[in-house]
Amino acid sequence: MSATLIDGKTVAAGLRAEVAARVTAFHAKTGRRPGLTVVLVGSDPASEVYVRNKGIQTREAGMRSDEIKLPETTTQAELLAVVQTLNADAAVDGILVQMPLPGQIDTQAIIAAIDPAKDVDGLHPVNAGRLAQGIDALVPCTPLGCMILLDKAGVAVAGANALVIGRSILVGRPVASLLLAANATVTVAHSKSRDLPALCGQADIVIAAVGRPEMVRGEWLKPGAAVIDVGINRVPKEDGKTRLVGDVHFASAVETAGVITPVPGGVGPMTIACLLQNTLTAACFRDGIDPKSL
């Protein structure tokens, strides 16, 4: 068997186009454009590239995009003051503080300080709690992207046995909640789980988000399973350079899975696209508009 590849680039491009059309409708209805502000502390090269791409795609979708760059030496109090200013700014619908933050700053304290209504990363405890209870909430972007990819691939989630490998607040826990809300039977595995290959062998859907290069082997998988690989790991090549691989051993998994996301080009492109959707959703909620009506 050779799995069908789920093209995240194509799906993300379609979602961005859809968001852009809905932003036009939002602007026609309200006279304003949704606004996203990204805060970057320090000069991590990967974060700078990511923030730049967010800005480009936000503007292409017809939204306002602002960036606040702060020095590596920024204190927690200074960053909290910036967040509070953005919370009070009526022109800002979405606030995203780029992670990771320097060691002197408590990441959880910053997340908790963001207005839940503007928390387009979906990490605030209020949004996490609403998601866990099945109430409308701003959902973390990568888990939301995983669910969209499953839907676009025609995967029947309701009634399926779904295995989530990883329990982080960024991916594992929220994607498990989304799968439960979609009526899957969900197992969450982690570093203490016994006999992970056996768990994989029972799963109709496997979402790998553990951060270990090529850990999930093809021979572990149930034939025909849907595999969503969230991992992005840089590993050395023989020539001294590096390459990107996922948490799934793609070469063996593609022979057993029914559908599978590649790395790169699978889940990654969905994250910014879902961020744009979350920003529009936040703007709609703030203006009392049903996002589905646009």
What residues act catalytically?
54, 98, 121
Phi-psi region of 31 (alpha: psi -120 to 50; beta: other; left: phi over 0): left
Alpha helices (runs of H) in 89-219, residue ranges in sequence order: 107-113, 125-132, 141-152, 172-181, 196-201
Q: Identify which of 270, 5, 7 has the alpha carbon closest to the alpha carbon of residue 146.
A: 270
Distance CA 14, CA 276 (A): 12
Contact 138, 119 (CB under 8 A): yes
What does 191-243 look like in DSSP terms, one character per residue?
TT-S-HHHHHHT-SEEEE-S--TT-B-GGGSPTT-EEEE---EEEE-TTS-EE
Q: Which residues are annotated as a binding site?
A: 166-168, 232
Residue 117 gets which letter from DSSP? G
Kindly state the tokens that stand for 70: 């702060």
Distance CA 128, CA 210 (A): 20
Residues 75, 181: Cα–Cα separation, whole Å: 39
| Residues β-bridged to residue 228 | 207
Contact 279, 94 (CB under 8 A): yes
Binding residues for NADP(+): 166-168, 232
* CA distance linking residue 136 with residue 48, whole number of Å: 31
